[in-house]
Chain A
């Protein structure tokens, strides 16, 4: 087997609090081959963005990585900041969840997009800005309305997000991490951006790690999926297999809660507005995670043994060489959908 582009083995991200430490991410194992498309879904606060930031070497100051984190044979956990700078933006790039924090408010958008090509590829400013122009056109921000000299505050939320997408793909990285790349976009622009990412992956063999809560987007864009809950991967496998079975009760709850399900049903006349099926309770705070199944307090399938140990990410089946695993003692057997 060829070497994966990215490998996390028993990866944890720890945060020291006083004289104890807590694991924001706990013992994660994930591999990403070249040209693969992995989707990451999961509850707010489950650790999706922190996983991505760990790969980018951009963790909040106090957090530390434990375990293995290998990118193309390089151990990222041991990499010097200097070397990391050469990788970041060039070999790996990230579309951040909150555009306003990632864009520089006092720098014109053209210069922000061109920066990477000047820095990493040694292009002249003129060439890099030509490229920036092309990228802006591709993300649906054409000239002359969207000139390179606009500033981020002169753009709408979705337009800023698209500038950030252009910045991230400017150097055609090997690995693109997209953290909720289309959350601020209406569906027609979203479709355009997803098509753009699709073409880019096909043309350049780029690897995609797509973090999103939109199950429609994951199902359309990815081959493989990891469902995260409370800092752990609780189910992973081929996207189609996971969607068909949803072995982990949390994965089932996630789908049932989607407005694609309930919200789009016709509303019964006269009755009050139907409520969406939320999963009861809240995701445990990283400080208060129990030493047993972290979903137990919210799970409809819970049994006594669930509160005795932490379920391992066990193998359920293998399909086309890709393993389907779930961290549940009593995985749902029936298919949601054949």
Chain B
């Protein structure tokens, strides 16, 4: 068997709770209770689960941003929390993130050009400015933004346009793994379709892998091969996406599948008209 690109083993992550007073005991809240997942090269894994169940926490741990209290995160065979700074920088070229809150993750003082080329500047020293600009134009085009966007600031964009800037930034180093936390939830369906299609194209072209977090089961079904369902910090079900959604085994997964709003179902409306 080929070596997995990402291997997360028994990861535990806890947060400190605010102390009611300085004399009270420090309490910890366990968010991830020893979770494990694997992604093969070129594969995409979806993570779905309730709000607050620990999806973004897992994403932050995988991105090397928050060290778990215990457990291991291996990317391309390397334990990312055991690397020194230079090796980590080399490794970082290979994985990029798209975060949940596009505004919070884009520095408002910088132009889109600066924001998008930042990973190249910090991770690929020695790339010329002209080459950088060419790549900025290329990724802007790929996410469907006009080339002139490069010289604008984040606040001059709509919510969905900002999210596309975040996606462009993640693509520019041609990483092999992209951790995408709700990457399309701020997008309208047409742009969403374009972005998802783009992500699929890139996957086929470059053999990219995705760790794809979304609460939209339609989106997850469209783009992932396998899905893992997280509930209260534990995975309750994992398997091929179609199988899990068509025939959910765990009660939480069943509730999730049943709660999807459907156009034309008129579910809530008929309830409303009754009372």
Q: Do chains A and B interact in one complex?
A: yes
Within 8 Å of chain B (Cβ to Cβ): is A257?
yes
- The total of chain A residues at the interface (CB under 8 A) is 72
**A100-B103, A187-B256 known; A44+B197 contact, CB < 8 A:** no
- A residues in contact with B259, CB < 8 Å: 187-188, 190-191
A window 101-143: CB within 8 A of B: 101, 140
Query: How many B residues have CB within 8 A of the partner chain?
Result: 66
A217:B160 contact, CB within 8 angstroms: no
Closest Cβ of chain B: how far from A14's Cβ, in Å? 15
Whether A272 and B159, one on each chain, are in contact in the complex, defined by CB atoms closer than 8 angstroms, is: no
User: For window 181-224 of chain A, which residues contact chain B by CB distance below 8 Å?
Assistant: 183-191, 194-195, 198, 202, 213-221
**B226 CB, nearest partner CB in chain A, Å:** 13
Cβ-defined contact, B218 with A258, below 8 A? yes
Q: B72 CB to closest chain A CB, in angstroms?
A: 24
Cβ contact within 8 Å between B187 and A44 = yes
Residues of chain A within 8 A (CB-CB) of B200 are 273, 275
Contact partners of B192 in chain A: CB under 8 A: 213, 257, 259, 276
List the count of A-B residue pairs having beta carbons below 8 Å apart.
Answer: 196
Q: Are A243 and B264 in contact (CB under 8 A)?
A: yes
Closest Cβ–Cβ distance, residue A175 to chain B (whole Å): 19
- Are A278 and B197 closer than 8 Å at their CB atoms? yes
Residues of A within 8 A of B197 (CB): 275-276, 278
Expressed in whole angstroms, the minimum distance between the Cβ of A97 and any Cβ of chain B is 5
A residues in contact with B164, CB < 8 Å: 44
A194 to B265: give the CA distance in the assembly, Å. 15
Tell me, in angstroms, the Cα distance from A43 to B217 when the chains sit together.
21
Cβ–Cβ contact A43 & B188, under 8 A: yes
Closest to B141 in A: A282
Assess the A188–B185 pair: CB atoms within 8 A. no
A227-B220 Cα distance, complex, nearest whole Å: 26
B263 near A260: Cβ-Cβ < 8 Å? yes
| B193–A257 CB distance below 8 A | yes
The contact of B191 among A44, A149, A218, by CB within 8 Å, is: A44
Contacts of B104 in A (CB 8 A): 98, 100-101
**B101 in the interface (beta carbon within 8 A):** yes
With A and B bound together, what is the CA distance between A236 and B201 in angstroms? Answer: 35
Name A220's contact: one of B146, B157, B266 (CB within 8 Å). Answer: B266
Interface centre among B52, B104, B191, B194 (most CB of A within 10 A): B52
Among the stretches A82-90, A155-163, A302-310, A326-334, the one at the interface with B is: A155-163
Chain A residue nearest to B100 (CB atoms) is A157
A279 adjacent to chain B (CB < 8 Å): yes
Nearest CB to that of B16 among chain A residues? A154
Expressed in whole angstroms, the minimum distance between the Cβ of A290 and any Cβ of chain B is 15
Q: List 9 additional A-B contacts (Cβ < 8 Å) besides A155-B52, A187-B215, A202-B272.
A: A149-B18, A157-B101, A190-B261, A221-B268, A254-B188, A272-B204, A278-B190, A278-B193, A279-B190
